[in-house]
Structures are given as structure tokens and as C-alpha cells.
Amino acid sequence: MRNARGGNIPDVLKFAIDCEKFGAQGITVHPRPDERHIKYSDLKPLKQFVTTELNIEGYPSAEFIKLVLEIKPHQVTLVPDPPDALTSNAGWDTQKNETFLRDLILPLKNAGIRTSIFIDAEPINMVFALKTGTDCIELYTEAYASNYLIDKEKALMPYIRAAEMAHSLGLKINAGHDLNLENLKYFNDNIAHLNEVSIGHALISDALYYGIENSIQMYLKQLN
């Protein structure tokens, strides 16, 4: 919203601080080469002032890896969408990209940064995710959200199996993409050992109607 018009309204740093004050348990940003979501210049101030958790997600280009090694957020989430993608539209094939991901994750872990990789809900992905050395996996939940109103039990089943496999391997379980006030509670209630969810577009869309403080509290209620 700020970047569409220029200037500094809304103030992203103040907004992040206020979100924490209103109950948010972490701040996720996704810097892209065209800076349409967040500007690179926002990252150092965010790392300085975010007191919960700063999660930087993005495609692991050389520039991105250099950036996060400099900022050292609490968590880095690696997503496979190329720089020209409108939004994330697939998870990593961890079997195919095992070596590629392992080589990226090692320097992040050596820098003390917790790592997460964005993957589809296939049990085989969990097995090879472990081999990459990642700390966490983030389940790509678009398929669940798209099919929730059609058959929520069927939509959720692959995620239950994937989460069980991830937990058995000692991986922390995150989730995100298209989770909202309608489908979040059912997901949270039925996915054992869910560690965190990243919610951006739906939260800000709801804030247009309810205000950001109320929206955060509404989401927390679904998770509690």
C-alpha cells in the first residue's frame, strides 16, 4: 500500500511495532527484487525494533542470501517462487532440490539463523527436507484453503499425514498461504504440533473492515 503511492504512509516500521503491541507473535516480510512488498531498506530497522520474531522469506538468490546473512533475522523461510512470480504458487520438491537447499541452509545455520523451507504436503518432501538440514518446514496451504468449502476433511488429510511425518523426523511445523478467519481454526485444531502460521494478505484485508488491532485479536482467537 505504501509502495503503490510512494512516501512513508503507512509507516511500515510503526505498523510492525503496533502489530506486536496488539498481540502479533511475529513479523514476516518478503523482499522481492522489485521491492513491491517490502523495501530492502526496511529490513535493518525491522531487525532492530521487532521484539518477537522477524521472519524473512524469499527466493534464495545470491542477493537474498547475502542480505539475510547481513540482517540475521530470527528465521529465514526459503520459497521456490522466482522473482517475477506474483505470489508463491508451489512448494519445493525437496528430493529434487536436496543438494541445492542443503548448500543454502548450511551458511544460514552457521550464522545462527533458524531455517524453514516452503513445501507441499507430501510425506516424501518431509524425508528429504530433513536431509537438507532445515530446522522447520512450512506447509503450503493453498490447496487446503481452495478445497475447504468443498470437503474440509478431505482437504486437510494430506496436511495431517505430512505434519505427522515432519514431527516424527524432529522438524518444526509452520504453515501459510491463504489461511484466513474462515479456515484457520479447523486447520489449527487438527494439525498436531503446529508451531506457527504466517498470515499476510487475509489479515491486512480483514483489517480494512475491522481494524488491525481487532483483526489480530480475531486471528489469535482462532488459534487459541
The residues that are catalytic are 30, 57, 177
Q: Which residues pair with 96 in a beta bridge?
A: none
Indicate if the alpha-carbon torsion angle 199, 191, 25, 67 is positive or negative. Answer: negative
Instruction: Return the SS3 of 196.
Output: strand
CB contact at 8 A, 69 and 108: yes
Cα maximum dimension of the chain: 48
User: d(Cα 197, Cα 140) in Å, to the nearest integer?
Assistant: 10
Q: What is the DSSP letter of 117?
A: E
